[in-house]
């Protein structure tokens, strides 16, 4: 099973690589809406990002595979255990593996997260400031991963029969807590948030939300312009931390009518319960992964096997990308339909999609393989088509 999963992940990476580098044409519709010059530049931007995604994941998998074959994890654990005891060995091994992985991914992330962004004129922060953010988020990931892996090994020792179910429950609780707490604890580490000031605008947002039968806790503006020129918005949180966050870039540089459409889309996610679905889906995938891990690993888990366990997890995540992204695209389409239902402004939506794609240099017509594997949202062309084909549901009198 681990071999099959890893082979599937490698195969998918290869497909993405091939789909990224082969030159291809565009449909007449794309050319009419966006023009040759834009499509060429957007294709170049997309190609660099996809190739770097493949390279990064290939590098991580190769390092983990090498560590597994050379039994470096076992040697690291046994060596540390002699000096620091069992707990120290366990902590040290997971920390060591994650430090190595961060070292491996840093150059790729610097290239795709900063150099490419600067090259295409999006980055507004300096390399040092980017690196500061990167190290902060790497540190957060590392703390969570090291604690999680240590707990996993402990649970497998303490409950030899049910550890995988217990771990799945723990993971589900973590996903839920993360959804609830990250907007108030993690996000402020990287950005400043403040309530949208325009009273008339906020009033309209609240009215729209009411039409969709939901209560918005907060509409916040984030100072994304400190780091990027791109425009976006997102919804986040559960219970009392539910919020809609809109990039200042979008709010300042676009007519209010468009900001409202973007927010209507986020309201759509809420009214259709997409945060809940996301938490459930992650928890389910966690359970499936742990079932695979139980089938393929000795119980209790051995700390020296951590590189193999992480490799299996990464292979699982990559292999299930087409599934999780297909579900995500369905939800995005559903949220778009809510926009049309509550605003009726399909013409505005078409115009907004064109503008945002131009502004963000979007891959408006991705290769089918790329779309299936990496696109959490339908492409701009698909969304434009859906808006044009939308028919309001007529309720009989
Ligand atoms: Zn969305």
pLDDT tens digits, one per residue of 41-63:
999 999 999 999 999 999 999 99
Q: Answer whether 384's CB lies under 8 Å from 353's CB.
A: yes
Token pair in block for residue 351 = 């115009």
Q: How many CA atoms lie within 13 A of 231 on its CB side?
A: 21
% of the chain surpassing 70 pLDDT: 98
Kind plus residue range of the DSSP H or E element containing 379: none
Q: What domain count does the chain have?
A: 1
pLDDT of residue 215: 78
Q: pLDDT confidence of 23, banded at 50, 70, 90?
A: confident
Question: Would you state the pLDDT for residue 394?
Answer: 61
Q: For residue 214, what are its two tokens?
A: 């939901």
pLDDT tens per residue, range 133-187: 899 999 999 999 999 999 999 999 999 999 999 999 999 999 999 888 888 888 8
Residue 302 located in a structural domain: yes
Kindly give the distance from the C-alpha atom of residue 25 to the centroid of ligand 1, in angstroms, as a whole number: 28
pLDDT tens per residue, range 328-368: 999 999 999 999 999 999 999 999 999 989 988 999 999 99
295 inside domain: yes
CA of 234 to the centre of ligand 1 (A): 7
Mean pLDDT of the chain: 91
DSSP 65-118: HHHHHTTHHHHHHHHHHHHHHHHHHHHHHHHHHHHHHHHHHHHHHHIIIIIHHH
**For residue 324, what are the domain limits?**
2-23+42-179+273-333
Total number of residues shown for the chain: 397
Most confident segment among 21-25, 222-226, 258-262, 322-326: 322-326
Q: Is residue 75 part of a domain?
A: yes
User: What's the pLDDT band for 198 if we cut at 50, 70, 90?
Assistant: confident
For residue 282, report the distance from its CA to the centre of ligand 1, in Å. 17
Residue whose pair of structure tokens reads 């507004």 in the numeric block: 124
CB 150 within 8 A of CB 97: no
Query: Is the Cα torsion angle 154, 157, 159, 161 positive or negative in sign?
Result: positive
Instruction: Report if residue 386 sits inside a domain.
Output: no
User: Using a CB cutoff of 8 Å and minimum separation of 24, what contacts does 237-241 make?
Assistant: 237/179, 237/180, 237/183, 237/184, 237/275, 238/176, 238/179, 238/180, 238/275, 238/276, 238/279, 239/180, 241/180, 241/181, 241/183, 241/184, 241/217
CB of 246 within 8 A of CB of 222?
A: yes
Quote the ligand 1 centre to 98 CA distance (angstroms). Answer: 31
Q: How much of the chain is helix, strand and coil, in % rounded to 5?
A: 75, 5, 20
Give the separation between CA 237 and CA 225, rounded to whole angstroms.
Answer: 22
Q: How far is the CA of 382 from the centre of ligand 1 (A)?
A: 14
CA of 276 to the centre of ligand 1 (A): 14
90 CA distance to ligand 1 centroid (A)? 40
In the reported structure, the alpha carbon of residue 4 is separated from the centroid of ligand 1 by a whole-number distance in angstroms of 33
What's residue 55's pLDDT? 96
| 259 CA → ligand 1 middle, Å | 14
Phi, psi angle pair for 123, to nearest 5°: -70, 135
pLDDT confidence of residue 199: 84
Q: Count the Cβ atoms, other than its own, within 10 Å of residue 28.
A: 8
235 CA distance to ligand 1 middle (Å): 8
pLDDT tens, residue by residue, 73-121: 999 999 999 999 999 999 999 999 999 999 999 999 999 888 898 988 8
- Per-residue pLDDT, 119: 87
- CA 332 to ligand 1 centroid distance, Å: 5
Overall pTM > 0.75: yes
- What integer pLDDT is reported at residue 69 of this predicted model? 95
**Gap from CA of 208 to ligand 1 centroid (Å):** 16
**DSSP per-residue letters across 208-266:** HHHHTT-----EEEE-GGGTBS---EEEE-SGGG-EEEEEHHHHHHS-HHHHHHHHHHH
pLDDT of residue 167: 96
Residue 34 lies in a domain: no
> pLDDT at position 395, please?
57
- More confidently predicted of 240 and 132: 132
Q: Calculate mean pLDDT across residues 213-241.
A: 79
Alpha-carbon 36 to chain mean position: 30
Residue 231 has pLDDT above 80, yes or no: no
Whether 379 is in a domain gets the answer no
pLDDT at residue 294, as a whole number: 94
Residue 367's H or E segment, with its range, is: none
């Amino acid at each position: 099973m681990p071999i099959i999963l890893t082979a599937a992940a490698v195969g998918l990476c290869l497909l993405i690589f091939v789909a990224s580098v082969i030159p291809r044409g565009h449909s007449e519709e794309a050319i009419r809406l966006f023009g040759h010059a834009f499509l060429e530049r957007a294709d170049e931007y997309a190609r660099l990002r996809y190739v770097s995604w493949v390279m990064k994941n290939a590098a991580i998998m190769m390092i983990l595979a090498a560590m597994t074959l050379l039994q470096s994890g076992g040697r690291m654990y046994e060596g540390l255990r002699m000096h620091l005891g069992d707990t120290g060995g366990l902590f040290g091994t997971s920390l060591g593996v994650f430090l190595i992985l961060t070292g491996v991914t840093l150059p790729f992330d610097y290239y795709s997260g900063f150099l490419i962004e600067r090259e295409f004129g999006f980055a507004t922060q300096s390399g040092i400031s980017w690196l500061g953010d990167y190290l902060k988020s790497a540190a957060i990931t590392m703390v969570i991963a090291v604690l999680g892996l240590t707990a996993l090994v402990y649970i497998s020792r303490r409950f030899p029969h049910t550890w995988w179910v217990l771990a799945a429950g723990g993971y589900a609780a973590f996903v839920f807590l993360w959804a609830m707490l990250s907007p108030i604890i993690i996000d402020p580490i990287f950005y400043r948030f403040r309530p949208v000031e325009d009273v008339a605008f906020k009033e309209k947002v609240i009215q729209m939300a009411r039409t969709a039968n939901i209560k918005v806790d907060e509409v916040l503006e984030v100072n994304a312009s400190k780091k990027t020129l791109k425009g976006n918005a997102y919804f986040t949180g559960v219970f009392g931390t539910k919020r809609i966050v809109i990039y200042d870039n979008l709010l300042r540089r676009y007519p209010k009518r468009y900001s409202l459409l973007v927010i209507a889309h986020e309201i759509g996610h809420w009214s259709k319960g997409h945060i809940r679905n996301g938490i459930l889906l992650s928890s389910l995938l966690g359970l499936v992964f742990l079932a695979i891990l139980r089938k393929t690993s000795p119980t209790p888990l051995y700390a020296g096997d951590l590189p193999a366990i992480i490799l299996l997890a990464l292979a699982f995540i990559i292999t299930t990308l087409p599934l999780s992204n297909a579900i995500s695209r369905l939800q995005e389409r559903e949220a778009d339909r809510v926009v049309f239902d509550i605003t009726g402004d399909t013409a505005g939506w078409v115009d907004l999609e064109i503008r945002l794609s131009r502004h963000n240099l979007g891959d408006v017509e991705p290769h089918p393989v790329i779309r299936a594997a990496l696109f959490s949202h339908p492409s701009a062309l698909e969304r434009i088509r859906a808006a044009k084909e939308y028919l309001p549901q007529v309720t009989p009198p």
